[in-house]
Structure 1
Amino acid sequence: MNKQKRIYLAIGIAMLLMFALLITPRNMKPNTNDLSGLSLPSPPSERVIPKVMNDIIYKEEEWTTNFTHDGAIIKNGDWYYVYSTDYMVGAPPTPGIQIRKSKDLIHWEFVGRVFDQVSNEAWEWTGGTTYWAPNVVEMNDKFYLYYSVSSVGKRTSYIGLATSDSLEGPWKDEGAVFKTQEGDEYTVNAIDPDITFDTEGQPWMVYGSYFGGIFITKMDPQTGKLEDPTAEGTLIAQRKNMSYGIEAPEIIYNPDTEYYYLTVSYEWLEDTYNVRTARSKNITGPYLDFNENDMVDSSDDSFDTGNKIVGSYAFGKDSGWIGTGHNGLLEDDGNYYLIHQARAGEELFWSHLHVRKIVWTEDGWPVVSPERYAGEKEQKIEERHIIGDWEQILLPRYDDTMQISRKLTFLSNGKIEDESGKSNWELSGDNTLTLSIYDPGVAPEDYWDYTIKVLPGWDWENWNETLVFTGMNEEGTALWGKKQNKGE
């Protein structure tokens, strides 16, 4: 080979090496949008569902999730039913508890109402003209519907009962279950009833609000009314005074953990509403949160009681949701769900029904998906699915304002991208993710340690399938996440 050919060959090899160096990082970079091999939810509808639709205000057949407030959920056969408070935007609501139904917890149709006006007995006691906060259970081969009528801002309230052979009615009013009024001997406010059953099948009513807190009292399973009509029951949750909001109790039992779980809503329903939870081995309490704080807390620190599992939030540039509270709970063949109302970030009076899947931490605490339910199921997640950019939302117990998402990036080497280079992630089991976030001088031993569950979800803000995560750190503070799945 002559000298000129050797020069050309050397130049060619050098150019190939330079080209390889230029393309290698790109070729070796992990696919950050890899969701292959996962069973992902389908779109909930053909197009994005607006939060505000002024053209449907007087079209009840098109309400779907719109105008749902204080919802309670029950399943019968193939159908899920939600019963909710009289509520609408732009005009006075038609009296009567609203009924919706669905076969998949995703697509809802408006059925109608229970009654068309408040009973004379409830009106004469309270002066109220609308129904609030219903609850429905099945006993004695029929359905028992509990409702509230109240004087706004007073303890003059009425919990009533109606019965029916069908969840769609007709309903027969059975009169009062419990009544309270200003100046009586009771502490509780007769509002927001939830009927729950202990492990022996005994029914209990948990109820109450701002005034005096949350109580639980035993029911007569034959009549559906109180075993002792004069007994307000046992106090199980309380805050300092009327400036510290607490209401909307629900209790559900998980046989796998052998705990009863109490949920309540804190703060004001139009904006800072949020859902807290605690648990007990006994249905009458005491109910303790992750940090073993008793839910009966009349101190200035009661803002810090209860694990906050749902709060006002916004992902990315979306207007988000506020007033995320007054939840209902459902167990369905070993799967658990939480429903709640949520108000549109751009129009606080426009309320929707949200349904979220509950997943359980390894130490037996319920946490909920950061995205509304779209049919997703927990399944095995691979490390390749985790790598990429995510949006994270922290739900601090001490701040109930809207929480805005921040970027979180998982690198392929098990590192979390930040200035310190000391934060890490690790996937274990089928779908458990542990995060160690370096925060020197603030976090316990300088690290926030989160144990979270990863599962598929539907990105309602960007309208595509994605992954989400939910869990808590060593202080019981919840963290939500959503992968930025932009497709290929």
Structure 2
Amino acid sequence: MKKTWILACLAAVGIILMVVFRGQEDSTPVPVPEFPTEPPEYSLVNPAHIHNQEKWGIMNTHDPALVKDGEMYYTFSTDIMVGGSYPFGIMVRRSEDLIDWQYIGQALEDIPEEAMEWANPENLWAPDVVKMNDTYYLYYSVSRFGVNRSYIGLATSDSIEGPWEHQGKVIKTSGSDPVNAIDPNITFDRDGVPWMVYGSFWEGIHLLEIDPATGKPVEDGFGKLLAVRDYMADRAIEGPNIVYNPDLDMYYLFSSYGSLNSDYNVRVARANEITGPYVDYNGNDLTDLSVRPVYEAGTKLIGGYKLGNEHGWVAPGHNTVLQDGENFFMAHHARAQADPNWSYLHIRKILWTEDGWPVVSPSRYAGETLQPIPESMLIGEWEHLRHPRNEINVTSRSIELLSNGVVVADDGEHKWAFEGESTLVLTWDTEQGDVVETVTVHPGWDWRNDKPTLYFTGLDEDGVSAWGKKDEVNLDE
């Protein structure tokens, strides 16, 4: 009996010590995260730079394809120029860090006569570049706005910087065809087989298997339908891009919805197989035209927005996604709210929700990494916005996170809680019931105010994207 009593006492002491030490461990302060250093300054909407290509940087970028070759990053993009006309050729930019971009010229010196005669283009659109069998394949679109007499062409090179040799037609469509041969993107399935996703308006987005020896389709025809919109939405879907996430063993179809100059926005759906079916966060199949209202299909990641006093952006879209080691990055263009004639390259870091959906940072990439965040750094004033699927351009509102778990906003008091190392849960009390946003907090750079700060990004339980930016961060905490 005495022995049993002693053992029980020792066990109790052990439990107490374990609790004490665990409490000490849990109470270890989280260090201040490492913030990005000051990136290069880009002067936006500056007429002095119109004819100075050395100053273009991210300016005049539209429909960017983002690729990595060795230690260097490249974008290939549509031929456009604010305040002037730009010759055929496909713009090329280069960067060592995805932050500081230099315009380095054009990929192509001429356009095949067949393509010119078929489509009579005003410029070249929406290129894509991929490396297969030690050869670089450059795909490009030849068309005119509002018609589907279009042509996807191909050029090859031993170097990503060229020179490029034309290889002719990949696919072309005419006015009598149900699809539109533009916006090519090459992706590889889990077995390394290349596929081309393409299309715009008309009967939507299609997928073709590609022969890696030629870079052209294995079979004739338009391929398999992956996504479409109906006449009520003016069939506005284009700029497709498929990405395979090996950790999740899922395929993600990104595409742009809406009008190029006003309500363009990027949406995503996912599938177990590259051929689909692709469904959004709410289970909508992107080929199901019975989904009503029509704007509900697709999980919207980014649309036009203004976050605090930052520069406002309209019509962000035509993205590509790059997997770089463990990181994923989205490249897209966006137009300056101050003057939508000016189009700029945006690179954003992609984060992943616990249930396997991509979300994008509210800020252009400046070298930030995902790190544990001290809970005390969350307390204070923030800018907060949501990207509802049916709203064109959204503006943030000011909120304040108090130390007692209360969120003060213009419509009353709500709740917040911090979970794990960087997960913030915001619970909004609305007339329709609680709306819960689960977001990831990460360091970033406030490009407009030239300082480091905290951002958050995530989704609510209905798949609506939510963003935030802290007004001031105390780096000495």
Does TM-score exceed 0.5, indicating one fold? yes
Structure 2 equivalent of residue 58 of structure 1: 51
Q: Distance in 1 between matches of 2:194 and 2:362?
A: 32
Superposed counterparts of 1:328-367, under 5 Å: 328-367=320-359
2:280 aligns with 289
Structure 2 unmatched runs, 5+: 1-28
Q: Which moved more, 1:274-283 or 1:312-321?
A: 312-321
Residues 137-173 of structure 1 show CA distances to partners (whole Å, capped at 9, x for unaligned) of: 0101110010000132111000011001111100001
Output the CA distance in 2 between the equivalents of 1:243 and 1:393: 27
Say which is worse superposed, 36-45 or 460-469, in terms of deviation: 36-45
Q: How does 1:417-428 map to 2 (within 5 A)?
A: 417-418=408-409, 423-428=414-419
Query: How much does 1:121 deviate?
Result: 0.9
| 1:44 correspondence with 2:31 | no
Query: Per-residue deviation at 1:295?
Result: 1.1
Q: Which amino acid aligns with 1:456?
A: P
Aligned residues: 445
Q: Conserved in 1, the CA contact under 8 Å of 2:122 and 2:144?
A: no
Secondary structure of the structure 2 residue equivalent to 1:93: coil
Tell me if structure 2 keeps the 8 A contact 1:83–1:100: yes
**Within the alignment, does 1:233 sit opposite 2:223 as a pair?**
yes
Shift of 1:287: 0.4
Structure 1: which amino acid aligns with 2:44? K
For 1:327, the aligned partner's letter is N
Partner residue of 1:13? Answer: none
1:200 match:
191
Specify the alignment match of 1:16 in structure 2.
Answer: none
Structure 2 equivalent of residue 308 of structure 1: 300
Distance 2:343 2:288 in 1: 30
Q: Which residue of 2 aligns with 1:458?
A: 445
SS of residue in 2 equivalent to 1:73? strand
Task: Kindly state the Cα deviation for residue 385 of structure 1 after the two structures are TM-superposed.
Answer: 1.1
Residues 63-84 of structure 1, C-alpha deviation per residue, up to 9 Å, x if partnerless? Answer: 1100000000110111000000
The within-5 A match list for 1:143-292 is 143-183=136-176, 186-228=177-219, 230-241=220-231, 243-292=234-283
Q: Distance in 1 between matches of 2:414 and 2:460?
A: 14
TM-score (norm 2): 0.91
CA separation in 2, counterparts of 1:129 and 1:49?
A: 29
CA distance in 2, matches of 1:344, 1:90: 14
SS in 1 for 2:407: coil
Say whether the 8 Å CA contact 1:148–1:157 is kept in structure 2: yes
Q: Which residue number corresponds to residue 97 of structure 2?
A: 104
Distance 1:472 1:411, change over 3 A: same
Map Cα deviations across residues 40-85 of structure 1 (whole Å, 9 max, x no partner): 011112xx53221111111112211000000001101110000000
Q: TM-score, normalised by structure 1?
A: 0.89
Select the residue among 349, 372, 389 that pairs with 1:397. 389
**How is 1:3-22 mapped onto 2 (pairs within 5 angstroms)?**
none
1:386 maps to a residue whose letter is: L
* CA RMSD, Structure 1 to Structure 2 (Å): 1.7
Letter in 1 for 2:64: G
Give the conservation status (yes or no) of the 8 Å contact 1:117–1:129: no
CA separation of 1:413 and 1:430: change in aligned 2, threshold 3 A? same
Query: Aligned equivalents of 1:312 and 1:36: distance in 2?
Result: 35
Distance in structure 2 (CA, Å) of the matches to 1:43 and 1:246: 37
Quick check: 2:42–2:57 contact (8 Å CA) kept in 1?
no
Q: Which amino acid aligns with 1:232?
A: F
- Please report how far the alpha carbon of residue 244 of structure 1 lies from its aligned counterpart in structure 2 after TM superposition: 3.7
* Cα deviations by residue, 1:70-122 (Å, 9 ceiling, x for unpaired): 00011011100000000101111121100001010000011110113322110
